[in-house]
Amino acid sequence: MKQLNHYLLSTLFWAILGVLVVLVLLDGLSDLIDGLGDLSSTYSFTDLLIYIGLTLPRRIEEFVPFATLIGALFGLGRLGSSSELTIIRGAGVSMPQLAWMAVKPALLVAMGGLAIGEFVAPVSEQIAVSQRAMAQRDDPNLAGRYGAWNRDGRTFVHVDAVQRGGLIFGVTLIEFNDAGALTRSVSADRGTFQGDRWLLEGVSTTELTTSGTSVTRQTTREWRSGITPNLLTLDTVKPESLPVTQLWQYAAYLRNQGLLANDIEFAFWNKVLQPLSCAGLVVLAMSFIFGPLRETNMSARIFAGVLAGVVFRISQDFFGPVTLLAGLSGGVAAMLTVALCWGVGLALLLRRQ
């Protein structure tokens, strides 16, 4: 039994890993082609390649569930085609035992993806986004396309680029009074965080009054705000790229500001439940091998697996916005996708029985 465990672990692990590499490279190539339209005198092809390279850790974590399904389908399908699964079942290995053996490599890959998403992807993604924004902020055709919006009381803040160490570029502050009327607009070339405040440089301030507008320019200006460099860093990257340890705190901050945080909670629970999702996808892959599709050829099984993976991804993208409309928590939305995966997989396997 120990040798059988090791054999299945090795076979499925390398199958899942191989599919993961292919998916990540294809996604990176797709982004590379899309990014060619953004090339300019300030944003070169080398900059684009660096951006793609730095975002690879995020792509790895993102495609782990999809790769788990397709890789398990490939691995189990190969074992089924060579009648090895029949021999294993004939040796007295029950379906639950076989399922547990198949789930182990999926959990191994899922935990590796979770570690990359927790410790590597947040740093590399922030550097990638920052470098791209810095290269493109001087291009009038792309200025303002990237960056982050935030809110501090009645002040709305936009930052073009955030660098590690508390340095921001392209700062815009839009201030409103209690009645919701625009009173002041402040723009600055850059800002540096100094303990409990920001020091803005190259500042231009536009005051709006009933008699008209006035513009003043300053070399430096202090800006006191509860917005920290860490918070701005969280704003500039996708929620899926943030570490689990920061997602929940970020959601709490948004709720305190009176903003919706369902998408942040959804991203948090998706990360936490990813090992369970991967295990469910392996069960779904097993249902294609032992269930109704066991008599079909391998190409049909692969097509069905790819289709199921697409449905799984779409369901994740679908249930997130649904929480905003239905008022559900992000945890409920994440559990719906996991329950759907497990439910379909178990139902198909039970039909075989």
* pLDDT single digits (tens) 236-294: 888 878 888 888 888 887 888 777 777 788 889 889 999 999 999 898 888 877 755 55
Quickly tell me which residue has 């890993």 as its tokens.
Answer: 17
Three-state SS letters, 78-107: HHHHCCHHHHHHHCCCCHHHHHHHHHHHHH
Which amino acid is residue 296, in one-letter code? Answer: T
Confidence at residue 151, expressed as pLDDT on a 0 to 100 scale: 85
Q: Is residue 228 part of a domain?
A: yes
135 neighbors 45 (Cβ within 8 angstroms): no
Query: In the Cβ-directed half-sphere of 318, how many Cα atoms lie within 13 Å?
Result: 9
Confidence at residue 219, expressed as pLDDT on a 0 to 100 scale: 96
**Which pLDDT tens digit goes with each residue over 304-325?**
777 877 777 777 777 666 765 7
Same domain for 8 and 86, yes or no, is yes
Number of domains in the chain: 2
Same domain for 110 and 185, yes or no, is no
User: Is the pLDDT score of 142 beyond 60?
Assistant: no
Instruction: Identify which has the larger pLDDT, 209 or 54.
Output: 54
Q: Is residue 270 part of a domain?
A: yes
- Over range 108-114, report the average pLDDT: 94
Confidence at residue 236, expressed as pLDDT on a 0 to 100 scale: 80
Residue span of the structural domain in which 178 resides = 144-236
Q: Is residue 308 part of a domain?
A: yes
Same domain for 103 and 201, yes or no, is no
Q: Is residue 166 part of a domain?
A: yes
d(CA 352, CA 249): 45
Q: Is residue 73 part of a domain?
A: yes
d(CA 335, CA 217): 53
Same domain for 32 and 110, yes or no, is yes
Confidence at residue 26, expressed as pLDDT on a 0 to 100 scale: 96
Q: What is the pTM of this model?
A: 0.84
Q: Work out the number of other CB atoms within 10 angstroms of the CB of residue 94.
A: 9
Pick the last residue of a domain from 188, 221, 236.
236
Same domain for 148 and 82, yes or no, is no
Same domain for 319 and 229, yes or no, is no
- Over range 21-27, report the average pLDDT: 96
Confidence at residue 179, expressed as pLDDT on a 0 to 100 scale: 87
70 neighbors 302 (Cβ within 8 angstroms): yes
Q: Best-predicted range by mean pLDDT among 52-66, 84-98, 123-137?
A: 52-66
Same domain for 175 and 83, yes or no, is no
Same domain for 155 and 86, yes or no, is no
Pick the last residue of a domain from 221, 236, 251.
236
CA distances to 156, 161, 231, 264, 272 from 149, in Å: 7, 11, 11, 15, 27
First to last CA, the chain: 24
Confidence at residue 298, expressed as pLDDT on a 0 to 100 scale: 66
- The pair of structure tokens assigned to 234 is 């969280």
Confidence at residue 320, expressed as pLDDT on a 0 to 100 scale: 62
Backbone angles phi and psi of 167, in degrees to 5: -120, 125
Q: Is residue 106 part of a domain?
A: yes
Confidence at residue 324, expressed as pLDDT on a 0 to 100 scale: 59
Q: Is residue 150 part of a domain?
A: yes
User: Is the pLDDT score of 207 beyond 90?
Assistant: yes
**E strands, the chain, in order:** 148-152, 155-163, 167-176, 182-193, 198-209, 212-223
Backbone angles phi and psi of 153, in degrees to 5: 65, -120
Reduced to 3 states (helix: H, G, I; strand: E, B; else coil), residue 113 is helix
d(CA 243, CA 87): 43
Residue 190 per-residue DSSP state: E
Q: Is residue 74 part of a domain?
A: yes
Same domain for 293 and 347, yes or no, is yes
Backbone angles phi and psi of 170, in degrees to 5: 65, 60
**Which among 157, 160, 173 has a CA at the least distance from the CA of 221?**
173
- Over range 123-152, report the average pLDDT: 77
Same domain for 35 and 102, yes or no, is yes
**Which pLDDT tens digit goes with each residue over 74-94?**
888 888 778 788 788 888 888
Same domain for 102 and 52, yes or no, is yes
Please give the share of the chain, as a percent, with pLDDT higher than 90: 39
Q: Best-predicted range by mean pLDDT among 27-41, 132-146, 325-339?
A: 27-41
Backbone angles phi and psi of 132, in degrees to 5: -65, -45
- Residues in Cβ contact with 121 at an 8 Å cutoff, skipping those fewer than 6 apart: 57, 58, 60, 61, 241
Report the length, in residues, of the chain. 353
Quickly tell me which residue has 């905003």 as its tokens.
Answer: 324
d(CA 14, CA 109): 10
**Which pLDDT tens digit goes with each residue over 6-19?**
999 999 999 999 99
Same domain for 268 and 226, yes or no, is no
d(CA 298, CA 78): 9
Instruction: Identify which has the larger pLDDT, 145 or 311.
Output: 311
User: Is the pLDDT score of 232 beyond 90?
Assistant: no
